[in-house]
Amino acid sequence: MTSAHSPSSAYGELRALFTRLSRFGHLSAIAGWDMQTMMPPGGSKARSEALAELSVLQHQILTAEKTGALLDRAQQEPLDELDRANLREMRRQYDNAAMVPESLVEAKSLAGARCEHAWRAQRPANDWDGFAENLREVVKLSRQEAQIRAQAAGTSRYDALLNLYEPGMRSSDLERIFGDLKTWLPDLLQRVVAKQAGEPCLTPQGPFNLDTQRQLSLSVMKLLGFNFDGGRVDVSAHPFCGGVPEDVRITTRYNDKEFLTALLGIVHETGHARYEQNLPRDLPGQPVALARSTAIHESQSLLFEMQLARGGDFLKILRPLAIAQFGEQPALEERNFIRLNQRVKPGLIRVDADEVSYPAHVMLRYEIEKALIEGDIEVEDIPALWNEKMQSYLGLDTIGNYRNGCMQDIHWTDGAFGYFPTYTLGAMYAAQLFHSVRQALPSLSEDIAAGNLQPLFHWLQHNIWRHGSRFPTDTLIANATGEALNPRYFREHLESRYL
């Protein structure tokens, strides 16, 4: 009898096939990282074509008739629980890919690369018209993809794309979650801003040398347990975490006028990186060893950045690292330093937003991208709608300021529609997880203040990191916290910290 793990079994053949796909994915990830960090501008066209070719090759392998037949055969083989979960994730990848024609995969890859590359120059130039021209093609192709997926899945077009990032989540779930958020967040934001108006806060005085900021970044990454044998940090136009679990690439951007934005960006991306670096390694290249979902990924980065790094306990150990690089100054006095990092001030830029106003940035983008994919609005409607929602949610004006308005994010340039909601879902998961950590580790505050982060990391490793995609998201969270997603913990966290 052939073992399910035998190379000649259907499941054994599938494991070999997905290992091969993961190796192509490795090359694609590193070439994509290079494109956003070190590649000279003249290399854009050739690199875009090479990446498109690679994406078509991966698509061909994944969607081949033989792959579908192997999946059907493997379903009948005797598999243990972990292999069965791996097979489930293989099937999900296959189904997601098989419904989209190869020509659309290539066209979308090329249009996205062209739009993203041009955006890097168009954003600083505030060139909305130039950007919109490229974005129209990306939106057109994304709508085509959404329509194909929606017909196959029997969902709305937007839900079909949302499912790629957050399996099982529907916009009806988001409407319920965000609908509740809207009932209390604006009032909380106003109350916090009013409370902090009576709490003076000094701003650190620069300039802050960029090399010195980089040294501070490295110190904080080391404190947070980043494995430098399996990753590195660089500079890009938009901070991100990329690469593969064995070689994680994170980026930030520095500003010599202030250092906290880059520093907290580093903490955020290190949260992503720690998750990647601690995913299960006993099934390399297999879908079950990948991150569970985008919101779970965001929960790890936001747990690091918001729950941990903006908390007073952690700021007490972060402050000496900042002083070691920039020297003593009144703004770095302990009480002021904590206030500085817990300051709530509605602003234009999402990645710089405090954790109270951040969900407003996400809801704005979700509402616009959903309307765009469903065909309710067109690309040319975005700036006015963006301004209207910024006024409504945050009381800010973006008329004519495309650079810091609707052109600030990289996500839409390559058609990542359905991604934005995962940031706030991630913040909610992070609050729920951190609540459970506190319950499980009564001495957590003392440990953090003493610079001992290992108990926290051990809990995350045991409950989230090591499981990869073994469990559906609701099961993963319920196993870790005792219940599926409950937004109550996010509200309690914000009220507790800021009021």
The set of catalytic residues is 269
Q: Is 238 annotated as a binding residue?
A: no
Q: Which residue from 231, 310, 212, 295 is spatially nearest to 264, judged by alpha carbons?
A: 310
The torsion angles phi and psi of 344, rounded to 5 degrees, stand at: -110, 115
Q: Is 272 annotated as a binding residue?
A: yes
169: Cα within 13 Å, side-chain hemisphere:
28
Q: Is 276 annotated as a binding residue?
A: no
Contact 122, 131 (CB under 8 A): yes
Q: At CB < 8 A and 24+ separation, what contacts does 479-486 make?
A: 480/433, 480/436, 481/432, 481/433, 481/435, 481/436, 482/436, 483/432, 485/425, 485/428, 485/429, 485/432, 486/428, 486/432
State whether the Cα torsion 449-271-264-358 is positive or negative.
Answer: negative
Q: Which residue from 195, 257, 189, 265 is spatially nearest to 234, judged by alpha carbons?
A: 265
R_g of the chain, CA atoms, integer Å: 23
Residues flagged as binding site for Zn(2+): 268, 272, 298
Q: Which residues are annotated as a binding site?
A: 268, 272, 298
